[in-house]
Amino acid sequence: MMRALYISASGMEAQQLNIDIISNNLANVNTSGFKKSRGDFQDLLYQTIRMAGAPSGTGTQVPAGIQIGSGVRSAAVQKIFTQGDFQNTQNSLDLAIEGEGFFQVSLPDGTTGYTRAGAFKKDNAGRMVTSDGYTVEPAITIPADTLNITVSANGIVSVLQAGNPIPTEIGTIQLTRFSNPSGLNSIGRNLFLETAASGEAVTGNAGELGFGTLAQGFLESSNVNIAEELVNMIIGQRAYEINSKAIQTADDMMRTSNELKR
Amino acid sequence: MNRGIYPALSGGIAYERLLSVISNNVANLNTSGYKIDRPIFRVDTPSSTQGAASLGNNPHRDKFFTEIDRIFTDFGSGAIKQTGNTLDLAIEGDGFFVVSTPDGQRYTRSGAFTLNSSNTLTTMDGHMVMGESGPIVLGEGSVVIDPEGGVSVNGTEINRLKIVDFDKPYNLQKDNNNMFKGTGEKPAEGYSVVQGAIELSNVNPVKEMAAMIEVLRGYESYRKVMTTIDETTARANEIGRT
């Protein structure tokens, strides 16, 4: 059977994955703290029909052999942690990280999740929580009689309470960084989990060496660039098409051979 | 017996292989650092190994076979695409990154790198990218790679990417995973490393599309030749019948 059929099928499969990734990026264009992904592709095994460097006669060598590739595979779907744009929301519990780092969130199963989406809220006990109600670590409880909340660039949360003209410090928001954020495991809901590939979580205060600073009243929008994704989508679609044309050519060739014997 | 059918058949088989090569090129349209393969055909006679065969007065004119002589990899550079990712690297000019794999040293133009858990620069398969002084271990801080391949973390140069080149024409074999193997490396010259960009594949879809049309039509012509020979032989078999 023709190799070309399977080779092109692998190409179509790769482009399909590519379009899947692009669609997910586009679907999350308005998700705060979302980081776009990119598919990385690699060529597959080569079948060596004639080995380069093999003797071709007395004292002569084959200068370049015959190696026929067998298509493409997806090597990785890599998350790209470039900074997203800042969106001014004026909301005192909206926090954006300018630079590296993640907020720590304690998940219901006791593990710690990491997020760049800083759209925090208050729950009924006054704790600072994510939109899903997961508490921020280290826990910060906002007193009921709070009039105004201020978060400094280095993460210190102070509140102005009724009847007290001097702000009170109630806690510090700490950040976590990883040596290889692309290795983090995405679990949805804007959350990431630590993996062996991401390296160990390093926790520190915002503004310390290597950590970003916090901006209150801002949200980090996704780092998806619509124009770039659309261009990638066009390339992906055309690449898919040309692979299908190769299958069509193989099919036409087989039809031609079938007509050989009438 | 008319043996002309066999040379025509060899041409058909060669075209079938050519289509495999084209399919592999188009399957890798989006593979960074992929280099296009182009087959070179030759006409072969069974006696050509014993001496030079000239077409004119060769009595075995019906034994000329077409086959793929070799597949030549076009190392022309692909377009460089800006990605903004710190660990995406592209080489402008000639040269290859050196990657250490369990099967030995390999070379690649695909610079989509990442880090492993011990902070070492690796390919997407986890093979270490080599620097002049061993694997490149990036410490905490911002990573800057200058055009000569010097790797600096927080302003201090910690290592230098090993960029090698080979004598031209390149005698490199393709290994899978965007890598090449070969011998005779020497330090590359006149290159520049671009940080935050990757080299796209150098496959030109228009040319491949045209090549596909050529394959299909060429294959059809060979089939016509075979059908004609078949018909002629059938006529010859009918001689003497009334």
State whether B176 and A8 contact (CB < 8 Å).
Answer: no
- Assess contact for A47 and A70: CB atoms under 8 A: yes
Of B27, B85, B140, the CB nearest to A11: B27
B96 shares a domain with B179 = yes
Are residues B155 and B190 part of one domain? yes
Residue A38 has pLDDT above 70, yes or no: yes
pLDDT of residue B56: 55
Cα B200 to Cα B173: distance, rounded to the nearest angstrom: 19
Q: Is the pLDDT of residue A35 over 70?
A: yes
Determine the pLDDT at residue A227.
92
Q: How far apart are the first and last CA of chain B?
A: 22
B54 and B111 in a single domain? The answer is no
Q: What is the pLDDT of residues B178-228, one digit of tens each?
A: 999 988 999 999 999 999 999 999 999 889 999 999 999 999 999 999 999
Q: Are residues B131 and B161 in the same domain?
A: yes
Lowest-pLDDT range of A96-110, B20-34, B48-62: B48-62
Same domain, B41 and B86: no
A42, A200, A223, best to mutate vs chain B, most B CBs in 10 Å? A42
Query: Can you give the pLDDT at residue B32?
Result: 92
Which A positions 151-210 lie with beta carbon below 8 A of chain B? 179-180, 182-183, 196-200, 202, 209-210
Which residues of chain A have a CB within 8 Å of the CB of B217? none
Of A16-30, A62-76, A149-163, the one with minimum mean pLDDT is A62-76
Q: Quick one: average pLDDT of B78-85?
A: 88
Whether the pLDDT of residue B47 is over 60: the answer is no
Total-model pTM: 0.81
Same domain, B135 and B193: yes
Q: How many domains does chain B have?
A: 2
CB of A150 within 8 Å of any CB in chain B?
no
Contacts of B209 in chain A (CB under 8 A): 242, 245
Contact B199, B97 (CB under 8 A): no
Residue B240 — left, alpha, or beta (φ > 0 → left; ψ -120 to 50 → alpha)?
left
SS3 B98: strand
Q: Does A70 touch chain B (CB under 8 A)?
A: yes
What residues have CB less than 8 Å from A84, skipping those under 6 apart? Answer: A32, A33, A34, A35, A116, A220, A221, A222, A223
Percent of chain B residues past pLDDT 70, beyond the cut: 91
CB contact under 8 A, A52 and B49: no
pLDDT, tens digit (0-9, with 9 covering 90-100), for B88-102? 999 999 999 999 999
At A201 the pLDDT is 86
Q: Is the pLDDT of residue B54 over 60?
A: no
The DSSP 8-state label assigned to residue B154 in this structure reads: T
Parent domain of B28: 5-76+203-241
Distance of CA B26 to the CA centre of its chain: 12
Contacts with B, A 199-238, CB within 8 Å: 199-200, 202, 209-210, 235-236, 238
Provide the pLDDT for residue B49: 44
Average pLDDT (A57-66) is 76
Of the residues B22, B25, B26, B121, the best mutation for testing chain A's interface (the one with the most A CB atoms within 10 Å of its CB) is B26
Tokens of B208: 């491949």
Res A182: pLDDT = 83
Q: pLDDT tier at B51 (50, 70, 90 boundaries)? A: very low
CA angle, residues A200, A204, A206, in degrees to nearest 5: 130
Q: Which residue has the higher pLDDT, B59 or A10?
A: A10
B96 with B194, same domain?
yes
Structure-model confidence comparison of residues A208 and A8, the more confident one: A8
More confident residue, B64 or B164: B164
Do B183 and B235 share a domain, yes or no?
Answer: no
Residue B45 predicted with pLDDT over 80: no
Q: Tell me the pLDDT of chain A averaged across its residues.
A: 89
| Beta carbons of B177 and A4 less than 8 Å apart | no
pLDDT tens profile B101-149:
999 999 999 999 988 878 889 998 889 999 999 999 987 777 889 999 9
Q: How many CB contacts within 8 angstroms connect chain A with chain B?
A: 202
Q: Please judge whether B171 and A64 are an interchain contact, meaning their C-beta atoms are less than 8 angstroms apart.
A: yes
Cβ distance of A43 and B17 shorter than 8 Å: no
Q: Which residues of B touch A2 (CB under 8 A)?
A: 16, 19-20
